[in-house]
Amino acid sequence: MGLLAWIVFGGLAGWLASVLMRRNDRMGCLTNIVVGVVGAFIGGFLFQLVTGAGISMGFNLRSFLVAVGGAVVLLFVVGLFGRRRR
């Protein structure tokens, strides 16, 4: 995928994950993109770990769902560490 596609894909995945985790009001566009891209890597790693099969790199529904799942995991873990500091 090209850089622009990664940004759009990451932004959409990060935004949906932030809505699902009810953190959308605290996250901006850049944070959504970063969470989505990092979440795609985390989701791909977890998907491969659980199923033993790799996931195709591309803009398709399966990749999007894996990226959103990884972003949700990322936001959950960050939320756990954020609560401990307070």
Phi-psi bin for 14: left (phi > 0), alpha (psi -120 to 50), beta? Answer: alpha
For the entire predicted model, the pTM comes to: 0.85
Q: What is the pLDDT of residue 56?
A: 67
Helices 3-20 and 61-85, axial angle in degrees (round to 10): 60
**How confident is the prediction along the chain (86 residues), in pLDDT tens digits per residue?**
588 888 888 899 999 999 999 888 778 889 999 999 999 999 989 988 998 877 666 778 888 999 999 999 999 999 888 766 55
Residue that is written with structure tokens 């500091």 in the block? 85
Q: Per-domain residue ranges for the chain?
A: 3-85
